[in-house]
Structure 1
Amino acid sequence: MNVTLQTPRLLLRQPQLGDAEPIARYLNDFEVAGNLARVPFPYHVADARAWLRTRRAGLPAQETTFCIELPDHGFAGHIGFHAGPDGPILGYWLGRPFWNRGIMTEAVITSLDWFFEATRSDTVLSGVFAFNTASLAIQTKLGFTQTGRSSLLCLARDAEVEHIDTQMTRSVWKARPI
């Protein structure tokens, strides 16, 4: 899918090869990469370019990802969906200069609104490493349910890390107060 989403403060757009440098700049920060499962550290422009080559037109909603842009700054982070063995998984990150500004909450809301309109999926899975209280706070505020704990490989830490598994169902999302 080729989708662009707009909020009062954000533009969520499809990734482009030109995003490699800001992606690498923000992911080559252990405070960011260390919160993510599938991101190595250090993270280089070549890593970003390799990932961006996997982002092609026509991917299904369950594989759609968005760059998060701020009108006054440009690229700030990333949010998107990928297919997991038990269903679609939502993942996201922001560059450290953009933390604690409500940007990710806005991006998650917009992405889930779009996803549940664009698909028939009843559930979106997500989760956070147990030490990532900021990301867990976003999910808790939006109504994600904790479904358990697991151990998940964190490439940046080169270790299995305790993970809090979460999910959002279509019915809970549609029933939430707006």
Structure 2
Amino acid sequence: MITLPELKTRRLILRALAAGDASAIADLGGRDFEIVRWLTGASWPYVEGEAEDFVNKVVGTNPMETEAPFVVTLGGVFIGVVAVEAPGDLDDLPDLPSLGYWIGRPFQGHGYAGEAVEAVLQWAFDAYGTDAIAARAFEDNTRSRALLRKFGFRPHSMTERFSKALDRKVSNVVVRLERADFEARKEPA
């Protein structure tokens, strides 16, 4: 079984999702419409047991074949999740792993999402041995799209995904990040 490494940034520690994380996912994300509204797989209002079902589905599987979810912690406190889906999640870019993330509202606006995403991207490029990583964001999720642009993700296509919370299909922008572009932004000018 492949296990996810612990990733450390300047302020954060990212670790593998564990069975005990379900209550934090439910409390910080699942019961907050301003988080759930940007996710496709979460219900609104929150359905009791949904976080436990998600954790049980993912924990104990091979993260390279399903999903590699990292819990983002600040001083030991759960603040969000950054995950990489194995290739195959996006019809438009089926050969690429894809990135997804959310940070609880009390922790937004402090740069934690960017810090965590950068660490996971670095890990994912190496772990998947890929030259590109994909992501998607709701077309009207301007904050998420801005963060992806900051890392060099470029628009690739549009798709629609059903949002359980909104109970309708939502337009998503599919973006792609080349490893060379990710590495270039880290080099001094």
TM norm structure 2? 0.87
Residue 21 (structure 2) pairs with residue 12 (structure 1) = no
| Matching of residues 121-136 of structure 1 within 5 Å | 121-136=130-145
Give yes or no for contact 1:35–1:129 (8 Å, CA) kept in 2. yes
Q: Which of residues 99, 107, 118 in structure 1 aligns to 2:127?
A: 118
Q: What residue number does 2:41 align with?
A: 38
Shift of 1:132: 0.9
Shift of 1:58: 5.9
- Determine whether 1:176 maps to 2:152: no
Are the aligned partners of 2:125 and 2:133 in contact in 1 as well (CA < 8 Å)? no
Deviation larger for 38-47 or 147-156: 38-47
Is this contact kept in 2: 1:24–1:44, CA < 8 A? no
Number of equivalenced pairs: 177
Q: Structure 2, unaligned stretches of length 5 or more?
A: none
Cα RMSD over matched residues? 1.6
Shift of 1:115: 0.9
Query: Does 1:81 find its partner at 2:84?
Result: yes
Q: Percent identity?
A: 32
Once residues 28 and 60 of structure 1 are traced to their aligned partners in structure 2, the CA distance between those partners, rounded to angstroms, is 26
**Letter of the 1:109 counterpart:** E
Output one character per residue of 1:104-135: Cα deviation in whole Å (capped at 9) or x when no partner: 00011000011112221222110211111111
Which stretch shows the higher mean deviation, 110-119 or 59-68?
59-68
Give the deviation of 1:142 after TM superposition.
1.0
Deviation of residue 38 (structure 1)? 1.6
Range that drifts further, 41-50 or 7-16 = 41-50
Give the direction of change, closer, same or farther, for the CA distance of 1:19–1:60 in structure 2 (3 Å limit).
closer
Contact 1:2 1:57 in 2 (8 A): no
Contact 2:40 2:161 in 1 (8 A): yes
Q: Tell me the secondary structure at the aligned position of residue 125 of structure 2.
A: helix
TM score, norm. by length of structure 1: 0.92
Give the superposition deviation at 1:48.
1.0
